[in-house]
Amino acid sequence: MNNNFSIVKSFKTFLEETGDLSYFTLRFFKEVFKPPYEFKEFLKQCYNMGNRSLLLVSVTGFIIGLVFTLQSRPTLLQFGAVSWMPSMVSISIIREMGPIITALICAGRIGSGIGAELGSMRVTEQIDAMEVSGTNPFKFLIVTRILATTFMLPILVFFGDTIAIFGSALVENIKGNVSFLLYFNQVFNSLVFSDLIPTTIKTFFFGFAIGLVGCFKGYYCEKGTAGVGLAANSAVVYSSMLLFIIDFIAVFVANIFYG
């Protein structure tokens, strides 16, 4: 009986949070087109989320390229297909591995940061003070952060993909004595627009999801310091789950359009 009650309660909580998140999303689209436009705050958030994530994204992408190539090379050598390495690595990284891993990294860094920052502002009543003073906190805090994550994540993914392919080229240059020019020629010959367009589009949705969930959890943070930690943690968990759902939908839709 208690188990059934717990399941019903959890399902009810899930539905309530889904409804609140849907209302939060509609409010964002309502506020984003209304003046005034907080352009300076938007640029500041782009710097905080983009520039400060470059090192982490670069190191992650470089290691992905190294490890993926080192793990794949022996198998391809057995079948005499090592010449396919540039094509396989580039398509795998650009289509799937690069976007989803970079998005997960950003969900951990950016999503938790947004949740903790807004949660702290809610707990210390800074958001309430902004409302009393006549400032629109939703416009200043939420809209700018969601737009920043939406536009910065595709740039970070592109940067991470480039570093990952360079790491793969470095392994091939050392192990297989393949020049960088030859490697990148094969990379560009193997890529087509159907590889780039769906990937680029879904990265915008990845960034939107990370910003939306992080802002939602932080903006409606519960009172107390424990609530700030819970907001930061749940922002990472929920945004990571949402990223996998978006990725599945994007791959499914791309397969329908491109066969």
Under a CB-based contact definition with an 8 Å cutoff, are residues 62 and 167 in contact?
yes
What does the alpha-carbon distance between residue 172 and residue 184 come to, in Å, rounded to a whole number? 11
What does the alpha-carbon distance between residue 184 and residue 127 come to, in Å, rounded to a whole number? 50
| Domain assignment of residue 29, yes or no | no
**Confidence bin at 2 (pLDDT 50/70/90):** low
**Confidence bin at 146 (pLDDT 50/70/90):** very high
What's the average model confidence in pLDDT over 159-187? 90
pLDDT score for 259: 59
pLDDT score for 113: 92
**Residue 236 has which token pair?**
């990472």
**Which of 193, 157, 162, 156 shows the shortest CA–CA distance to 65?**
162
Within 13 Å and on the Cβ side, how many CA atoms surround 191? 21
| Domain assignment of residue 27, yes or no | no
Amino acid 139 reads: K
| Domain assignment of residue 132, yes or no | yes
Range of the structural domain that residue 82 is part of: 39-258
| Domain assignment of residue 94, yes or no | yes
- In this prediction the pTM is 0.91
Under a CB-based contact definition with an 8 Å cutoff, are residues 155 and 50 in contact?
yes
pLDDT score for 18: 84
Q: b/e for 230-249, b at 16 or more Cβ within 10 A?
A: bbbebbbebbbebbeebbee
Q: b/e for 201-223, b at 16 or more Cβ within 10 A?
A: ebbebbbbbbbbbbbbbbbbbee
Say what percent of the chain tops pLDDT 70.
97
| Domain assignment of residue 69, yes or no | yes
Split into its structural domains, the chain has a count of 1
Condensed to tens digits (0 to 9), the pLDDT of residues 215-236 reads 999 998 877 778 888 888 999 9
Under a CB-based contact definition with an 8 Å cutoff, are residues 147 and 29 in contact?
no
Angle between helices 144-175 and 54-78 (to 10 degrees): 40
**Confidence bin at 125 (pLDDT 50/70/90):** confident
Quick check: 170 pLDDT over 60?
yes
pLDDT score for 134: 76
**Which of 125, 64, 114, 121 shows the shortest CA–CA distance to 89?**
64
Condensed to tens digits (0 to 9), the pLDDT of residues 7-36 reads 777 778 778 888 888 999 999 999 988 888
What does the alpha-carbon distance between residue 171 and residue 154 come to, in Å, rounded to a whole number? 26
| Domain assignment of residue 12, yes or no | no
| Domain assignment of residue 1, yes or no | no
pLDDT score for 178: 84
| Domain assignment of residue 138, yes or no | yes
Condensed to tens digits (0 to 9), the pLDDT of residues 46-92 reads 998 988 889 999 999 999 999 999 998 888 888 888 888 889 999 99
**Residue 259 has which token pair?**
């066969």
Average pLDDT score over the chain: 89
